[in-house]
A and B are shown apart, each in its own frame.
Chain A
Amino acid sequence: MSHIQQLDFSYFPGCSMATTAAESNRSLMQAARILGLNLIELQDWNCCGSSSAQTMCKNLSLGMAARNLSLAPAGRPLVAMCPRCLHYLRSGQQCLKDDPQIREDLEEKWGRPISTDLEIMHFMEILVRYGLGRLQANARRSLKGLRFVPYYGCSLFRPPRLAKEKSFQGEMENILTALGAEAVPHALMYRCCGSFLSATDPEVVAPLVNDIIGSAASDRADCLITACAMCQLNLEIRNTSKTKIPIFHFSEILALALGADDYEEWFVRHLVDPRLVLQKLALVA
């Protein structure tokens, strides 16, 4: 693969990808490596602020996002996979653009410049912008026969504050159908996974998750594929119905199609074993 030109990006993993969803991170790194996309982890990154900072204090939330922006080296885009992290990083950058005073204060506090021109991108965006040819050249396993529900979660294209940013709607289908999979159209792909209510009020979230899983089953989907690690987790742990459908993170299916072979290590971390579905399609041994 030495003929592929390497492209460098700063990479913001975020707390979920770094810990709970380590399998999503590992498969993402595999997929990126195969495609010649060099994801360089942002040095000493911190939590993006998450819903909790956003809920409790606006300045804290902005400060958390801004510190990450101050750590990003100039000259290469900052890439995130987690939709919520992406949302907070972009909102933070927007706030700093709108309020130069806050930006100057923070720059002085940390002794580092904060670029408001830094390009902040989602991983799917670099795939579509730079990777389509690379995808085609590196596909090793066909996803033919895999019927999936594309489940974006709520942060990639809904937030009104980011309405003027690029829209990601449809990108997951574009990428995965190009690799042979088939998107099912009628499931509840836009229904929220429950976010933090999954931790605080599981009895509220369980019926909603069951509805989502049920709708996928009645559309004869083999699996749901999420863009967000928290959605992946919530859809697995809050499903109390008898219907069990594997939930993949986007990067797992992508890496699988690109020929990654350490998938056993990812799949043992799932609460719903995905191997049966994949074995049926001869995607894994």
Chain B
Amino acid sequence: MSTVQTLIQEIARPDMVAAGKPRPSLAAEVKERSGTDLNRCYQCRSCGNGCPFVQAMDYTPNQVLRLVQFGMGEKVLTCKTIWICVGCHTCSSQCPMSIDIAAVMDTLRFIAVEEGVAIGKPNIIDFHEEVLRSLEKYGRAHKLGIMLGYKRQTGRWLRDLDVGLKMLARRKLDLRPSRVRAVKEITDLFACYWRESA
């Protein structure tokens, strides 16, 4: 059964929803934190039709908005889509109701991380964490270190090795990081940052 059918069935029979407790306040919460009024969405699906990454998603962006509107918190906070979204704003630029859909995705990710729910795309959060580790340490992104750390986390050392080697051969990956001198000013900023692995 397609995700759309599943969703329609669940919406039609709310008593059948197995996705945790309903969270009626979710839409208001997301509206408040994202600064965009997602209740304007009337499901025209421009965003879902335009998103370049929709094939890697479990819900289209318009479905994500619907899940939020219906307060289906657990489902939407654990979905892949919010992590796949890179914030390219193709959706927002096509939205007839001017909803900042990427801001909704940002907000849902923040909530997912804060509440410690199961992450829909663990490899992507691993990658972001690796980037942040680099930023915390050097104040700048050290790409070779990030890629090695990411490989260590995912354990897939051979995957994508050819591209890495090509980049090394073209001297596109610096061996040593470029650093901020007053790095304490940077590490202090990480005090606010919520994470398990801190």
Interface residues, chain A, with chain B CB atoms under 8 Å away? 15, 18-21, 44-47, 50-60, 63-64, 67, 109-110, 154, 158-161, 190-192, 194-197, 199-202, 204, 208, 233, 237, 268-271
How far is A195 from B127 in the complex, measured between Cα atoms in Å? 12
Q: Which residues of B, 138-181, contact A by the 8 Å Cβ criterion? A: 139-143, 146-147, 150, 160, 163, 166-167, 170-174, 178, 180-181
Interface-centre pick from B100, B141, B146, B195 (highest chain A CB count, 10 A)? B141
Q: Are A270 and B170 within 8 A (Cβ)?
A: yes
| Residues of B participating in the A interface, judged by any CB pair closer than 8 Å | 36, 52-53, 55-56, 84, 86-90, 92-93, 98, 100, 102-103, 106, 109-110, 113, 121, 123-125, 127-129, 131-132, 135, 139-143, 146-147, 150, 160, 163, 166-167, 170-174, 178, 180-182, 185-186, 188-190, 192-195
> How long is the Cα–Cα vector from A237 to B36 in the complex, in angstroms?
36
Check if B110 sits within 8 Å of A57, measured CB to CB.
Answer: yes
Contact A154 B90 (CB under 8 A): yes
Residues of B within 8 A of A195 (CB): 86-88
How many angstroms between the C-alpha atoms of A197 and B86 in the bound complex?
Answer: 8
| B100 close to A63 (CB less than 8 A) | no
Across the interface, do B180 and A192 meet the contact criterion of CB distance under 8 Å? Answer: no
Tell me if B124 and A200 are in contact (CB < 8 A): yes
Tell me, rounded to whole Å, the shortest Cβ–Cβ distance linking B51 to chain A: 9
**A160, B143: Cβ atoms closer than 8 Å:** no
Closest Cβ neighbor of B134 among chain A residues: A47
CB distance from A18 to the nearest CB of B (A): 6
Bound together, the chains give a CA A239 to CA B165 distance in angstroms of 16
Q: Take A158-B92, A199-B147 as given contacts and tell me if A20 and B52 are in contact as well, using a CB distance cutoff of 8 Å.
A: no
Residues of A within 8 A of B178 (CB): 15, 18-19
Tell me the smallest distance from the CB of B172 to a CB of chain A, in Å: 5
Tell me how many residue pairs across A and B have CB atoms closer than 8 Å.
160
Q: Are A158 and B127 in contact (CB under 8 A)?
A: no
23 A-B pairs with C-beta separation under 8 A: A18-B178, A56-B125, A56-B132, A56-B195, A67-B189, A154-B90, A158-B88, A158-B90, A160-B98, A192-B52, A192-B88, A192-B90, A196-B124, A196-B127, A197-B86, A199-B150, A200-B124, A200-B150, A204-B55, A208-B53, A237-B166, A271-B166, A271-B170
Whole-angstrom distance between the alpha carbons of A192 and B102 in the complex?
14
**8 closest cross-chain pairs (CB), A and B:** A195-B86, A52-B131, A154-B88, A192-B88, A158-B89, A63-B189, A46-B139, A15-B141
Q: Which residues of A contact B166 (CB under 8 A)?
A: 237, 271
- A-B contact sample (10 more), CB < 8 A, given A51-B87, A160-B89, A200-B150: A20-B143, A47-B135, A55-B106, A56-B128, A56-B193, A60-B192, A159-B89, A197-B84, A202-B163, A204-B53
